[in-house]
C-alpha cells in the first residue's frame, strides 16, 4: 500500500488581512487556521506523515500554540526558505512517503473527496492537481493597455493539495529556482511531466482576505 507524506506550507504573512500575525496563525473561533488544515489530513489518513514548513522566526510561536491548544496530532516542523520553492525543497528531504501531497496551510476547507480523487487519479498518472471551473467572465490584457474577452471554458482554477509520485517531485526540485515558478505543478511540468487534474471542491478557498476568513467561519462552526 502506498504511503502518503503531506507537506503543508505555512510561510505566508498577513498583509491583505491587515494583520501583523501571519495568516496561518489567525484564529477562527478557538484555534489557528493551520491547525484546522492539519486536522483535515490527519482525519483523512491518520497514518500519513505530516510536515509543516514555517519561517525560522515563527517556529517558537508555533511551539507555544501547540502547548496552549494541547494539539496532539503528530507532525514535523521544517524550517522554511526565502521562497515557497526553498521551503518545499527543504521538506522533501524529510519525506518518506511514496506519494507527496503539497498543500497550502491556509486552505482548511479541502474535502476528503478532493484528496481521495487526487490520490485515485495519481495511480495512473505522475502528477495530479485539483481544479474547479471558472464561473466568472474573464478578460485578458492586451499590448495596447486594453483588454480582450477570452473563453472561460479554456481555463481552470488550481487548488491544493497538488499530489505527486515522490520520485517525480524529487526530480523536479533539482531544477534551480527562478521567478516563473508559480507552484509545484509548474515546476514538475517544466521537468517534463504531464499534469493531470481531478475535481476540487469550491469551498477549498485559500484564506487571504477578511472576506475569505468570514467565508471559512461558515464551514468551521
Q: How far is CA 58 from the centre of its chain?
A: 19
> Is it true that the peptide bond before 161 is cis, omega within 30 degrees of 0?
yes
User: In sequence order, what DSSP letters do the residues of 8-33 get, joined into one string?
Assistant: EE-----GGGT-SS-GGG-EETTEEH
Contact 92, 100 (CB under 8 A): yes
Give the pLDDT of residue 18: 57
Residue 20: pLDDT band (50, 70, 90) is: confident
Q: How far apart, in whole angstroms, are the C-alpha atoms of residue 11 and residue 14?
A: 10
Across residues 99-109, what is the average pLDDT?
Answer: 98
Structural domain range at position 177: 4-219
pLDDT at residue 14 is higher than 80: no
pLDDT at 12 over 80: no
> Can you give the CATH number for the domain in which 30 is found?
3.90.550.10
Share of the chain above pLDDT 70, in %: 96
Question: Which pTM value belongs to this model?
Answer: 0.95
Whether 15 has a pLDDT exceeding 70, the answer reads: no
pLDDT band for 91, please (50, 70, 90 cuts). Answer: very high
The Cα 168–Cα 161 span in angstroms is 16
Point out the least confidently predicted range of 139-143, 150-154, 197-201.
Answer: 139-143
What's the whole-number average pLDDT of the chain? 94
What's the pLDDT band for 6 if we cut at 50, 70, 90? very high
| pLDDT (mean) for 49-57 | 96
Between CA 37 and CA 23 the distance in angstroms is 13
Total domain count for the chain? 1
Query: For residue 153, which of 174, 165, 137 has the smallest C-alpha distance?
Result: 137
Question: Distance of alpha carbon 187 from its chain centroid, rounded?
Answer: 15
The torsion of the CA quartet 115, 116, 121, 124, rounded to 10 degrees, works out to 120
d(CA 146, CA 160): 32
Stated as kind and residue range, the H or E segment containing 185 is helix 184-190
Q: What is the mean pLDDT of residues 44-70?
A: 97
User: What tens digit of pLDDT does each residue of 162-205 get?
Assistant: 999 999 999 999 999 999 998 999 999 999 999 999 999 999 99
Would you state the cell numbers that stand for residue 7, as one nine-digit string?
Answer: 507537506
Summarize pLDDT for 117-136 with one digit per residue, the tens: 999 999 999 999 999 999 99
- pLDDT at 145 (0 to 100): 78
pLDDT band at 140 (very low <50, low <70, confident <90, very high): very high
Amino acid at each position: 500500500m502506498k504511503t502518503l507524506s503531506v507537506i503543508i506550507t505555512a510561510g505566508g504573512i498577513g498583509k491583505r488581512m491587515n494583520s501583523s500575525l501571519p495568516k496561518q496563525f489567525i484564529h477562527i473561533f478557538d484555534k489557528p487556521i493551520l491547525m484546522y488544515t492539519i486536522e483535515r489530513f490527519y482525519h483523512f489518513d491518520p497514518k500519513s506523515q505530516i510536515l509543516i514548513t514555517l519561517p525560522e522566526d515563527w517556529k517558537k510561536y508555533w511551539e507555544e500554540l501547540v502547548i496552549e491548544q494541547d494539539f496532539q496530532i503528530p507532525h514535523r516542523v521544517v524550517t522554511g526558505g526565502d521562497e515557497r520553492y526553498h521551503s518545499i525543497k527543504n521538506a522533501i528531504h524529510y519525506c518518506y512517503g511514496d506519494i507527496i501531497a503539497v498543500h497550502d496551510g491556509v486552505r482548511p476547507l479541502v474535502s476528503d473527496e478532493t484528496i481521495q480523487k487526487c490520490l485515485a487519479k495519481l495511480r495512473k498518472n505522475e502528477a495530479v492537481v485539483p481544479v474547479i471551473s471558472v464561473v466568472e467572465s474573464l478578460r485578458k490584457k492586451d499590448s495596447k493597455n486594453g483588454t480582450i474577452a477570452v473563453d472561460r471554458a479554456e481555463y481552470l482554477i488550481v487548488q491544493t493539495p497538488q499530489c505527486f509520485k515522490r520520485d517525480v517531485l524529487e526530480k523536479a526540485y533539482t531544477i534551480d529556482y527562478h521567478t516563473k515558478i508559480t507552484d509545484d505543478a509548474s515546476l514538475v511540468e517544466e521537468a517534463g511531466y504531464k499534469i493531470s487534474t481531478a475535481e476540487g471542491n469550491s469551498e477549498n478557498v485559500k484564506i487571504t482576505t477578511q472576506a475569505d476568513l468570514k467565508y471559512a467561519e461558515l464551514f468551521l462552526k
